Amino acid sequence: MSTIELRHVRKSFAGNIVAVENVDLFVDEGEFVVLLGPSGCGKTTTLRMIAGFEKPSSGQILFGGRDVTHTPTRQREVGMVFQNYALFPNMTVAENIAFGLKQRKISSKAIADRVNEMLSLAQLADRRDQYPAELSGGQQQRVALVRALAISPRLLLMDEPLGALDLKLREMLQIELKQLQRKLGITTVLVTHDQQEAMSLADRIVVMQEGRMRQLGSPEELYNKPNSRFVAEFVGKNNVLSGIVKNAGKDELSIQIGEGDSACDVVAVQAKTDSWKAGDQIALGLRPEHLYVAPPGEEVQSSNCLPGKVSERRFLGNFVHYHVELPWKQMVIIECPTRLSQYEPGSDIVVHFKRQDCQPLAASSVVDA
Ligand code: ATP
Is 127 touching ligand 1 by the criterion CB < 6 Å?
Answer: no
Q: Provide the domain count of the chain.
A: 2
pLDDT in tens, 97-156: 999 898 887 899 999 999 999 998 888 899 999 999 999 888 898 899 889 889 888 899
Q: Is 86 part of any domain?
A: yes
Measured distance CA(253)–CA(266) in Å, rounded: 8
Instruction: Name the domain boundary from 208, 229, 250.
Output: 229
Same domain? 85 vs 149 = yes
Q: Is 369 part of any domain?
A: no
CA of 177 relative to ligand 1 center, distance in Å: 26
Instruction: Name the domain boundary from 198, 229, 260.
Output: 229
Same domain? 242 vs 298 = yes
pLDDT reading at 184 higher than 50: yes
Measured distance CA(255)–CA(244) in Å, rounded: 6
CA of 33 relative to ligand 1 center, distance in Å: 20
pLDDT at residue 85, rounded to an integer: 61
Q: What percent of the chain has pLDDT over 70?
A: 98
Within 10 A of 79 (CB to CB), how many other CB atoms are there? 22
pLDDT at residue 230, rounded to an integer: 94
Same domain? 40 vs 147 = yes
Which of 38, 59, 36 lies closest to 49 in space, CA to CA?
Answer: 59
Question: What single string gives the DSSP state of each residue in 74-107?
Answer: GGS-EEEEETT----TTS-HHHHHHHHHHTTT--
CA angle 61, 199, 189 (to 5 degrees): 20
pLDDT in tens, 56-84: 999 999 999 999 999 999 899 898 888 76
**Span 318-336, average pLDDT:** 94
pLDDT reading at 187 higher than 80: yes
Same domain? 147 vs 285 = no
The CATH number assigned to the domain holding 125 equals 3.40.50.300
Is 193 touching ligand 1 by the criterion CB < 6 Å?
Answer: yes
CA of 334 relative to ligand 1 center, distance in Å: 36
pLDDT reading at 202 higher than 70: yes
Q: Is 291 part of any domain?
A: yes
Measured distance CA(57)–CA(350) in Å, rounded: 54
pLDDT in tens, 241-254: 999 999 998 889 99
Same domain? 194 vs 129 = yes
Q: Is 280 part of any domain?
A: yes
The CATH number assigned to the domain holding 270 equals 2.40.50.100
**Span 194-201, average pLDDT:** 94
Structure ipTM: 0.95
pLDDT reading at 257 higher than 80: yes
CA of 35 relative to ligand 1 center, distance in Å: 14
Kindly give the number of the ligand 1 atom that is closest to the alpha carbon of 45: 11
218 residue type, one letter: S
Kindly give the number of the ligand 1 atom that is closest to the alpha carbon of 20: 14
pLDDT reading at 368 higher than 70: no
pLDDT at residue 369, rounded to an integer: 42
SS3 60: strand
Range scoring the smallest mean pLDDT among 52-56, 84-88, 94-98 = 84-88
CA of 320 relative to ligand 1 center, distance in Å: 38
Measured distance CA(299)–CA(314) in Å, rounded: 26
Same domain? 20 vs 112 = yes
Within 10 A of 89 (CB to CB), how many other CB atoms are there? 9
- Please answer whether residues 41 and 214 qualify as being in contact, where contact means their C-beta atoms are separated by less than 8 angstroms: no
Instruction: Name the domain boundary from 186, 210, 229.
Output: 229
DSSP state of 147: H
Which of 145, 201, 149, 175 lies closest to 31 in space, CA to CA?
Answer: 201
**Span 266-284, average pLDDT:** 89
pLDDT at residue 270, rounded to an integer: 86
**CA distances in angstroms from 193 to 27, 111, 128, 161, 304, listed in the order given:** 19, 36, 33, 11, 34
Which domain range does residue 173 map to? 4-229
**Span 347-359, average pLDDT:** 95
Q: Is 368 part of any domain?
A: no
**Span 194-222, average pLDDT:** 96
pLDDT reading at 27 higher than 50: yes
Same domain? 211 vs 291 = no
Sign of CA dihedral 155, 158, 162, 164: negative
Same domain? 105 vs 43 = yes
Same domain? 244 vs 220 = no
Q: Across 55-59, 297-301, 339-343, which has the greatest mean pLDDT? A: 55-59
**CA distances in angstroms from 179 to 45, 108, 168, listed in the order given:** 27, 29, 17
Distance of CA 293 to the CA centre of its chain: 30
Measured distance CA(268)–CA(325) in Å, rounded: 21
Kindly state the helix (H) or strand (E) to which residue 266 belongs, with its residue range.
strand 264-269
pLDDT at residue 365, rounded to an integer: 57
pLDDT at residue 366, rounded to an integer: 52
The set of residues, in sequence order, having a beta carbon less than 8 Å from that of 127 and lying 6+ positions away, is 93, 119, 134, 135, 139
Same domain? 52 vs 169 = yes
- Please answer whether residues 118 and 79 qualify as being in contact, where contact means their C-beta atoms are separated by less than 8 angstroms: no
The set of residues, in sequence order, having a beta carbon less than 8 Å from that of 95 and lying 6+ positions away, is 88
Same domain? 296 vs 164 = no
